[in-house]
Structure 1
Amino acid sequence: MHQRFTFIFLLLSFSAFAQTAPFPQKGLKLKWEVKENGFMGEAKTHSVFTLTNTAKKAFPASGWTIYFNFIRVVSPLRTETSPAIVPGHINGHLYTLKPTADFKGLAPGDSILINVESGAWVTNFTDAPDGPYIVWNDAPAKGYSIDFTVVPSTEDKQLRRQANESRVRTSLEDIYKRNSITRDIPEDQLPRVFPTPENIRSTAGVFSLDAKDVIAYQPELKQEALFLADILKNALGKTVQIAEGENGSIVLNKNDKNPTGEHTLTVTADKVTLSGNKAEDVFYAIQSFRQLLGTPKNGAIEITGIEVKDRPRFSYRSFLVDVSRNFQAKAEILRILDVIALYKLNVLHLHMSDDEGWRIEIPGLPELTEVGGRRGHTVDELDMLQPSYGSGPDVNNTTGTGWYTKADYLEILRYAKARHIKVIPEVEIPGHARAAIKAMDARYAKFMKAGNTQAANEFRLSDPDDKSQYRSVQEWKDNVVNVALPSTYRFIEKVTDELVAMHREAGAPLDVIHMGGDETPAGVWEGSPACQRLIASDEKLRTADDLWPYFYDRVAQIVNKRGLQLYGWEEAGMRRTKRDGRNVMIVNPDFGARNFMVDVWNNVMGGGMEDLSYRLANGGYKVVLSGVANYYFDMAYLRDYNEPGFYWGGYVDIDKPFYFIPFDLYKNSKEDGAGNPLPASTFVGKDRLTEYGAGNIVGIQSALWGETLKSAAALEYLMLPKLLGMAERAWAKDPEWTKNEAAYNEAWSIFANVAGKKELPRLAKLNGGYNYRIPTAGVSLADGKVLANVQLPGLVIRYTVNGKEPDAKSAVYSAPVAEKGTLRFRVFDQQGRGGRTVTVQH
């Protein structure tokens, strides 16, 4: 009896010990830095982790694994012969560091260097590894975060891409030269309405707006009347009444005499009239009118007479936000809807599913959010997805875990509808579908455990016998749905039906749905018995490549049967084939006449696919111009280690979306994907847009992908002010400046002044303020003095000469500086918020 009690006591003691980490949780520090890019003369990076024991006890030689995320493919350093700790790959961007027999542990205070090699290059702080944590072998289900530091790169060898590259950053002189084309224009000489209206003229008379004014509206315009009343309340600080009918000094008028899509705004001394063919058009007239509202004096706002007649150039003006990679709260989505409505965009493309997360509750499939909407350390991913983008081991994180409940989604839809914005949900398939696949695997396991085989297989997306070998662009090995399974199509039908039902309940009927199609890697389906049986059973199918159009034909049938237009990424309109024995992608002629709409993203300058949007439009597809070179807002503003964002498709500042020419994108393309001058030969032999093809260009979309968006502030920084350039190009007519450089410089100056003097101050006040980027100053040396300038007139440059950080009370730059010392320049907005400081030694 005594021996049995002792055994049980020891067993319980061991179990308790096993649940406790054998090393202090805060006893480790991990540091990472780049040694050099262009390692061994290749597109490789040599970097090093430094692991330090800060505890008072020895760190063990074995029994642990460190996990971390890194957006580069990691391998051991090839020049190291007997590494003590080596990297390994799990899946996607999740990697490990594991000890070898040569690792002897770490005494208190000791460190060890861990050299690694990675593909491509690292020239930006957002490229760095993130979210490291340690897992002990005795407790494999629990991860502990490690204190982590990234050492900034400052040397040329750390910042270049290739070993022979000489231009490693956008210099302060580069910025100064770019800013120099902009002339400062007095605010009273700037256009009063933005984006640029089709017709506008000032008239005599001044309307005095105060709280005594009444907004009169037709019954079908009550929503717009309430929206305008809220704007005027914020402007005046007092409530303005609304009244159905025509007896008011501010009249909202739905007028069939206005051509379709047109609105008019007229301000006279005694009346304001906002008219449009539809409620949507009246709404845009309201957005124009709000831009005329100044600061109240003696309780009233004086508005000089004006006549505006306007319509959008493109019917489709979209902003895509990716909430899958890093989740954004509902409140931020509502803020996004407010700002895109302000600039007359009419679509929110909600990228709500991808490999790293599923973000909308689907009734009947709770696993999609309960598993696919959560990230953390997991043994088998039956409870959550593995960490991505530094989300770490704890499931209770705000970037990897989160979703919109049905109630949330209905609120988003209704909020968007009130602003005449269509929300288009994206179900990313067949690739980029790992969150859905793993969620349905978890559902399968749950029902199989319960003995319900039929329910287990009802919506399964993966074939357990599939031996296909592939890697996606993001290094996933298992992120593509199996297109031969009937359950795949039941899943698509179920999700589509539930989305349609939610949109109907919100009063915002769904008429188009995005069904992905992006970046499905080569090698998929080739080793799937189910796919091989399908190929053998259908004479139209010869190889796995033929499964792509087969899949989208079935998806189209599902979508069209429900009265929806099919929408997808450019690859959905392409098919693989061979030319001269090599794999190539060509425009698929089968879908061009089926009202199939595609986003065309691949226009990386110098990448060889610059004409793809025109080829698809010429082939009959409805094309949304979504090119990375101009409209991927997750691209960094410029080449600087401290600028957040990616840069694989180039650098995108506010000018890139502004100077894009939709029907002749070759004419004004200036930089390649590395930010270098674009050779004139780039477009030789490229397809040009035909007259027929031009009729298939339906609009423009800017996209903000979420890999680097760890907060709402990060999102707004990359979104704004870039969105202003996109809004101008999507709304305003084809500009005259396409004909010569001088005309462009003048148009740019007007736009830059409008942005800096009118729109940024507006954004600083809207909804408590947006975290738009305040640009860094340009700096040049001439005649022994330091010159500085700013990209957007209206912003203020302040500086110090003693090396201290400039603040809102520092000296304002107004003339070249002759003083010697450490000069620091920083740009501030009109509210006193500062951007990033730049430093020069003089």
Structure 2
Amino acid sequence: MHKPLSSTASRLRAVLAAAALVFGTAALAGAPPSALVPPLPFVPMPAEVVRSDAGLRLAPGAVIAVPAGDRAARRVADTLATMALRDRGLRLLVRSGTRGDIVLRRDAASRTTDGAYQLDVAPGGVTLQAGSDAGLFYAGVSLWQLLTADGGQGAVTLPGLHIADRPRFGWRGLMLDVVRHFAPVDEVKALIDQMALHKLNVLHLHLSDDQGWRLEIKRYPELTRIGAWRTPPGGEPARYGGFYTQAQLRELVAYAAARHITLVPELDMPGHAQAVVAAYPKVGVDIGDGPGRNPRPAVSVDWGVNPYLYNADEATLRFVENVMDEVMAVFPSTFVHVGGDEAIKDQWKASPTVQARMRALGVTSEEALQSWFIGRIGRYLEKHGRRLIGWDEILEGGLPAGASVMSWRGTEGAVAAANQGHDVVLAPAGSLYLDNLQSARGDEPEGRLAQLPIEKVYTFDPMPAGLDAERARHVLGLEAALWTEYMPSRRQREHAIFPRIAALAEVAWSPASARDWSGFLPRLALQRARYLRQGVNAADSAFAVQFDVDGGEAAMLAAGQAPVRLSNQVGHGEIRYTLDGSEPTPMAPSLVARPGEPVVVALPARLRATAFDAAGQALAAVRERRFDVPALLARSSNELRACPNGEMGLRVPLRPDATDWAPVFNVNLMDACWIYPQARLDGVRAVSVDAGRLARNYGLAHDAVKVIQHPASTPEGELEVRQDDCAGPLLARLPLPPGTALETLTLTAALPPVAGTHDLCLRFTAPISGPLYAIDTARLLLTVPSTR
């Protein structure tokens, strides 16, 4: 008998909640893991699910039946068979006809919603039916998720189910910035594959910016000959970058279309234009020196906001239109993204030629000139059957008719645009920018220190408040964005995308009523296990164990022991630990950390821990913390605080284009100053700091005047150590060695005897016209190291 999920959901949640009391979703007291109701393995969660008592066993040789002559259904069946063999070792046979263990059917009733489908699993077989090709494809994805739920091989027993599913939003997107760091074609294809398995359908490629131009334009070959390459700070490598040929992009477009994904190209304008101006200076601005005085900059190596703009003359507009002709010939997408963000207008204000152009156009402000510029391109695209979309700055100066808005500075831009009758896509930085770190952990790789944990992605509501039903129809959907300034390798990019893409998918696809954070967590654990089996470098930040010392390290040093609390970000899983450095396992001899109860750790100890699910599978890699005097007297970059009135905004690598993960440094671009909190100085005789000399490659625009220069005693500057705060007594001054090479340094100095526990201010006085200095680790020493 079928049981509606709505009638059983409360009982299922009660079972899982009861389990959570012991397991953090662990096993019920006295009950084996098999006593738990297994979570449905779907991400995203279908709109409607009905469970039944009787399921189906699929054995090797099971037949997938497809309607004769239905090529799209055949492609779905072939894809399903390929994935079942690859991921489960289960051989399925594809046959034309209406009888089989798995049957694909067309359903005219579901044609009204693109992507809608039904999936039934019963003792008599599996049925997938949909009206659209996309719906049939998504039905196949859901069946694949059932087949791979347990990670097993060979025959599989499927639960009895009836699913009626449809997407909530038509735009379910992900943006990949391939400008700051180039992603090869194979990597983009792998991302498309994963997007399809999450039922996402828009890949937005950010193809031009100050740091590079990434697509071949045959009429303007200098765009890739010059604009696609840069020399990183430090000169290594001498040539860094890359671009896609039009043939490669057509291949990607077709590859994505076969998986029901649209590629949307973005060329940023009128700002973020330094790479194009480097290639063709005449499209840039004659900065204050009259006509014909167009400087040729290098392709930028600076992250952030750079000053270069397109000018607004007819020749430049024709240049852009010619580029768009080739872009439209490669990308068949309805939408073309034109950026429009962060275009500081200093060059326009300084240019007599641009000012004369404004007067000729009757434009009274630079913001209005940007609106005119965007409107001109929008009309050109519209004439060719396309639609313009841009970041929400295109609202400033008046939104061109027919333009759509991608709202990244919160949701206000989306509300304003929708209320004006424009279509919108939600992509707010605080909820959907994947370059924000996933946790506060010290082992997170590079990125923005603003945190975007997976729960924040999951709880984001793409339908902003303040829109009535009529205006709400302008909300096309949502999109997460991965800006790659600090992610030069595929491994780092995958770490940032996965598993947060799972939360994104559920927000974009599932009805709001179907979303349930506590129910998502066990499915997320299953999904992360899938990623690892597929070789995807998915982050385990949500499940990784965190160690928090009650009273702090200074108190632990004084007492020789302290309570240590073990937890993880999502409160999920049974945490097991050891104190002798051995590997924690789901069985003895490891110990269980009870929720809310600290573990008393006596010095010295090597505490190792991880979390396990109900089946005894590790949810994250083992984390370790040593508790001894040297470790407790050291603070990593992540354990240091920003100085008062400052903020550590970025975690950056030693070299901008490094592909390894260490070392990384938390930095405040405006003030090279850190606080070592609560240092127990009794018996301390010296300080040793592992530091980094980094590139100061940041386009700060109008914020450059806010960078603080601390008074120096030598031409190269020094690292000062002050007691209590940055105005306190000077305890040590550690001279910086001369040079500008990007490298690690160890700075050591004796400290005068000081009793008690104090904060320490650590600040660099190096000239702000040179490299940026940062701290990897600061150590207090009980002896003064020998200088011999």
TM-score normalised per structure 2 = 0.66
Aligned-partner residue type, residue 452 of structure 2: V
Cα displacement (A) at 1:408: 2.3
Counterpart position of 2:326: 498
SS in 2 for 1:519: coil
Matched, 1:759 2:527: yes
Closer, same or farther: CA 556–825 of 1 in aligned 2, 3 Å: same
Counterpart position of 2:204: 349
Closer, same or farther: CA 487–337 of 1 in aligned 2, 3 Å: same
Aligned-partner residue type, residue 827 of structure 1: T
Cα displacement (A) at 1:707: 0.6
Counterpart position of 1:278: 132
Q: How far, CA to CA, are the matches of 2:394 and 2:325 in structure 1?
A: 21
Cα displacement (A) at 1:243: 2.6
Cα displacement (A) at 1:522: 3.4
Closer, same or farther: CA 472–502 of 1 in aligned 2, 3 Å: closer
User: Deviation digits for residues 6-43 of structure 1, max 9, x if unmatched?
Assistant: xxxxxxxxxxxxxxxxxxxxxxxxxxxxxxxxxxxxxx
Aligned-partner residue type, residue 598 of structure 1: V
Counterpart position of 2:458: 658
Q: Is the 8 A contact 1:317 1:699 kept in 2?
A: yes
Closer, same or farther: CA 764–637 of 1 in aligned 2, 3 Å: same
Matched, 1:310 2:88: no
Closer, same or farther: CA 488–798 of 1 in aligned 2, 3 Å: farther
Counterpart position of 1:772: 539
Counterpart position of 2:99: 247
Q: Is the 8 A contact 2:497 2:538 kept in 1?
A: no
Q: For residues 338-417 of structure 1, what are the structure 2 equivalents within 5 Å?
A: 338-376=193-231, 387=232, 392-396=235-239, 400-417=240-257
Gaps of 5+ in 2: 1-19, 28-32, 551-560, 633-788
2:354 to 527, 531, 536: 531
Closer, same or farther: CA 661–791 of 1 in aligned 2, 3 Å: same
Aligned-partner residue type, residue 626 of structure 1: A
Counterpart position of 2:309: 480
Q: How far, CA to CA, are the matches of 1:370 and 1:810 in structure 2?
A: 62
Closer, same or farther: CA 512–260 of 1 in aligned 2, 3 Å: same
Q: How far, CA to CA, are the matches of 2:536 and 2:443 in structure 1?
A: 23
Counterpart position of 2:37: 188
SS in 2 for 1:708: coil
Gaps of 5+ in 1: 1-177, 377-386, 442-456, 504-508, 576-587, 604-609, 666-687, 738-746
Matched, 1:643 2:410: no
2:108 to 223, 236, 256: 256
User: Deviation digits for residues 198-217 of structure 1, max 9, x if unmatched?
Assistant: 11011243222233222222
Aligned residues: 571
Aligned-partner residue type, residue 345 of structure 2: A
Matched, 1:716 2:494: yes
Q: How far, CA to CA, are the matches of 1:629 and 1:832 in structure 2?
A: 26
Q: Is the 8 A contact 1:631 1:657 kept in 2?
A: yes
Cα displacement (A) at 1:474: 5.0
Counterpart position of 1:789: 567
SS in 2 for 1:427: strand
Cα displacement (A) at 1:518: 0.8
User: Deviation digits for residues 638-660 of structure 1, max 9, x if unmatched?
Assistant: 34555334447x31010111111
Matched, 1:522 2:313: no
1:542 to 364, 368, 389: 364
Cα displacement (A) at 1:323: 0.9
Counterpart position of 1:423: 263
Q: How far, CA to CA, are the matches of 2:589 and 2:415 in structure 1?
A: 51
Q: How far, CA to CA, are the matches of 2:540 and 2:234 in structure 1?
A: 25
Counterpart position of 2:405: 598
Q: How far, CA to CA, are the matches of 2:43 and 2:368 in structure 1?
A: 48
Q: How far, CA to CA, are the matches of 2:175 and 2:426 in structure 1?
A: 12
Closer, same or farther: CA 561–810 of 1 in aligned 2, 3 Å: farther
Closer, same or farther: CA 689–814 of 1 in aligned 2, 3 Å: same
SS in 2 for 1:257: helix
Closer, same or farther: CA 706–698 of 1 in aligned 2, 3 Å: same
Aligned-partner residue type, residue 339 of structure 1: Q
Q: How far, CA to CA, are the matches of 2:393 and 2:55 in structure 1?
A: 54
Counterpart position of 1:234: 86
Q: Is the 8 A contact 2:106 2:131 kept in 1?
A: yes
SS in 2 for 1:660: coil
Matched, 1:748 2:517: yes
1:824 to 603, 607, 617: 607
Q: Is the 8 A contact 2:88 2:152 kept in 1?
A: no
SS in 2 for 1:415: helix
Aligned-partner residue type, residue 760 of structure 1: R
Cα displacement (A) at 1:548: 1.3
Identity %: 29
Q: How far, CA to CA, are the matches of 2:619 and 2:96 in structure 1?
A: 43
Q: How far, CA to CA, are the matches of 1:473 and 1:554 in structure 2?
A: 30
SS in 2 for 1:428: strand
SS in 2 for 1:307: strand
Aligned-partner residue type, residue 238 of structure 2: V
Matched, 1:633 2:434: yes
Counterpart position of 2:77: 225
SS in 2 for 1:265: strand
Q: Is the 8 A contact 1:374 1:395 kept in 2?
A: no
Cα displacement (A) at 1:430: 0.8
Closer, same or farther: CA 791–832 of 1 in aligned 2, 3 Å: closer
Q: Is the 8 A contact 1:796 1:812 kept in 2?
A: no
Q: How far, CA to CA, are the matches of 1:302 and 1:255 in structure 2?
A: 26
Q: Is the 8 A contact 1:355 1:435 kept in 2?
A: yes
User: Deviation digits for residues 146-200 of structure 1, max 9, x if unmatched?
Assistant: xxxxxxxxxxxxxxxxxxxxxxxxxxxxxxxx99996448663423422121110
Q: How far, CA to CA, are the matches of 1:633 and 1:408 in structure 2?
A: 26
Counterpart position of 1:20: none
SS in 2 for 1:318: strand
Aligned-partner residue type, residue 519 of structure 2: I
Q: How far, CA to CA, are the matches of 1:838 and 1:629 in structure 2?
A: 31
Q: Is the 8 A contact 2:25 2:573 kept in 1?
A: no
SS in 1 for 2:330: helix
User: Deviation digits for residues 761-800 of structure 1, max 9, x if unmatched?
Assistant: 111112x333323443134568975442334577675544
1:729 to 507, 510, 526: 507
TM-score normalised per structure 1 = 0.62
Q: How far, CA to CA, are the matches of 1:268 and 1:804 in structure 2?
A: 47
SS in 1 for 2:120: strand
User: Deviation digits for residues 29-61 of structure 1, max 9, x if unmatched?
Assistant: xxxxxxxxxxxxxxxxxxxxxxxxxxxxxxxxx
Aligned-partner residue type, residue 409 of structure 1: L
Q: How far, CA to CA, are the matches of 1:352 and 1:228 in structure 2?
A: 32
Q: How far, CA to CA, are the matches of 1:473 and 1:394 in structure 2?
A: 16
Q: Is the 8 A contact 1:799 1:813 kept in 2?
A: yes
User: Deviation digits for residues 115-169 of structure 1, max 9, x if unmatched?
Assistant: xxxxxxxxxxxxxxxxxxxxxxxxxxxxxxxxxxxxxxxxxxxxxxxxxxxxxxx
Counterpart position of 1:301: 156
Cα displacement (A) at 1:296: 8.8
Closer, same or farther: CA 810–619 of 1 in aligned 2, 3 Å: farther
SS in 1 for 2:354: helix
Cα displacement (A) at 1:557: 1.2
Q: Is the 8 A contact 1:254 1:279 kept in 2?
A: no
Matched, 1:834 2:618: no
Closer, same or farther: CA 797–840 of 1 in aligned 2, 3 Å: farther
Closer, same or farther: CA 785–292 of 1 in aligned 2, 3 Å: same
Q: How far, CA to CA, are the matches of 1:426 and 1:302 in structure 2?
A: 45
Closer, same or farther: CA 839–724 of 1 in aligned 2, 3 Å: farther
Aligned-partner residue type, residue 492 of structure 1: V
Aligned-partner residue type, residue 615 of structure 1: A
